[in-house]
Structure formats: structure tokens, C-alpha cells
């Protein structure tokens, strides 16, 4: 039997947002073993509503992880909460992505991507909740291997839709040549984001100078790889 589509509309989005927030809080406090009944109670909805939106606890956990990873990069919560940009008021990293997509020519694109990378780095280094959730994923995988399977099935472009959409828009405008968006998202994050996460995850301090060099060189490498054919 095919799964029912998730509920849509403003009321459903508010419920989805409440479920994700409740699940995030409980996963961080109690681990993945927390029951769906507890998540529903924390969110103020029925357990049926939780399953209508997410289908399984694995899917809900994946949504929580994807949201926490994306929030520092897009400036708004994913999986149900309206961002400032969606409300017509670009704010934070959402406006960084907007300037990136609107860049006119290679030099503006390079400058916009560099500034976006700097903003991402600052946000990731300040994101204590994201570090805690990534630690939780690592600690729970041996007990719940389905978490890894659910995460892999979601795919990088699905985890980071705002960034994937920005790369597609730049490719459509001829500023980039992106034959594989999934790989491009992973490579961009590997250059600009993941080093920041690794340092912070292990309790090491990433100096401002090293963070800047990582961003500048990372942007250079990414743009060389995806430069359109002349």
C-alpha cells in the first residue's frame, strides 16, 4: 500500500514544526529510544498526527537531523517552520543564498560564495545544539542502524534543499556547470562546512585565520571545478 501524502497547509505546517521541535528536544534529552507517545504529548498532538506527518520514528529523526544541519546554513528552520525568506523578509543566511543566486558574473559569484561560506562557518561554530545532535547520531548508530539507512535514503540534495536549489539556479543562469547536484552539494559542504564541524565536534578551536583560509581556498576549488565551459 502506498504511503499517504503528508498533510499540507498552514495548520499542518505549524503542527509539523511543533512535532520536529518536540522530537529534537526529546531526542537530545533521552536519545533515539524515546517513544512516539512522548513526542506527540510534548508537541501537543496525537500520535496518529505524528505518523501522518512522518510515517516512522526513523523518518522523524531524519527530519530533525536535516533541520538542525540546515538551519545554520539557511537562517531558518526546515521541515515546517516558515523562514524569513519564505515570509517575504529575507534574513540571515537565507539572504546570503539570495545574493549568491543573484550574482552577476564570475567575480560577483566568487565574492557572494565567499561571504556565504564565512556566514556558514560562523553559524556552525556557534551551533551547540547541532553539535549535540551529531554526537547523538554517532552514539546511537550501533543500536539503531536504521538511522543510517534512513539518512542515506534521504540523499544530500534532500537534506539541503535551499543549497541544492541555489546551485541549480546558478547552473540555469550559466554561471556554473553542475552535472550532478548531489555530488556538488557534498563537495561544497566538504570544502566550506564539514571542516568547521570536525574541529568543533572534537572540542578543538578553529582560529579565525584558519577558518578564513579554508573558505577562500574552498571557494576557489569549487568554482574551478564547476566553472562553465568557455
Lowest pLDDT segment from 70-84, 118-132, 154-168 = 70-84
Are 75 and 126 within 8 A, CB to CB? no
For 82-112, what is each residue's pLDDT tens digit? 333 333 333 344 556 778 888 889 999 999 9
Closest alpha carbon to 98 in 165, 46, 193, 194: 165
The answer, as to whether pTM is greater than 0.85, is no
pLDDT digits (tens, 9 = 90+) for 115-140: 989 988 888 777 777 777 777 777 77
In angstroms, how far apart are the furthest CA atoms of the chain? 58
Amino acid at each position: 500500500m502506498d504511503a499517504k501524502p503528508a498533510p499540507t497547509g498552514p495548520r499542518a505546517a505549524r503542527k509539523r514544526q511543533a512535532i520536529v521541535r518536540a522530537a529534537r528536544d526529546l531526542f537530545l534529552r533521552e536519545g533515539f529510544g524515546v517513544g512516539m507517545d512522548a513526542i506527540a504529548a510534548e508537541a501537543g498532538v496525537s500520535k496518529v498526527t505524528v505518523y501522518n506527518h512522518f510515517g516512522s520514528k526513523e523518518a522523524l529523526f531524519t527530519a530533525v537531523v536535516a533541520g538542525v544541519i540546515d538551519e545554520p546554513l539557511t537562517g531558518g528552520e526546515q521541515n515546517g517552520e516558515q523562514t524569513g525568506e519564505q515570509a517575504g523578509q529575507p534574513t540571515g543566511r537565507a539572504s546570503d543564498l539570495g545574493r549568491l543566486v543573484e550574482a552577476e558574473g564570475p567575480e560577483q559569484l566568487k565574492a557572494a560564495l565567499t561571504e556565504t561560506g564565512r556566514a556558514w562557518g560562523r553559524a556552525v561554530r556557534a551551533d551547540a545544539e547541532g553539535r549535540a545532535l551529531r554526537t547523538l547520531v554517532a552514539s546511537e548508530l550501533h543500536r539503531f542502524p536504521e538511522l543510517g539507512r534512513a539518512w542515506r535514503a534521504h540523499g544530500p540534495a534532500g537534506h539541503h534543499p535551499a543549497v541544492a536549489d541555489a546551485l541549480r539556479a546558478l547552473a540555469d543562469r550559466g554561471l556554473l556547470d553542475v552535472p550532478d547536484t548531489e555530488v556538488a552539494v557534498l563537495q561544497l559542504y566538504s570544502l566550506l562546512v564539514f571542516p568547521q564541524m570536525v574541529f568543533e565536534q572534537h572540542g578543538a578551536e578553529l582560529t579565525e585565520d584558519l577558518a578564513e583560509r579554508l573558505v577562500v581556498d574552498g571557494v576557489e576549488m569549487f568554482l574551478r571545478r564547476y566553472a562553465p565551459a568557455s
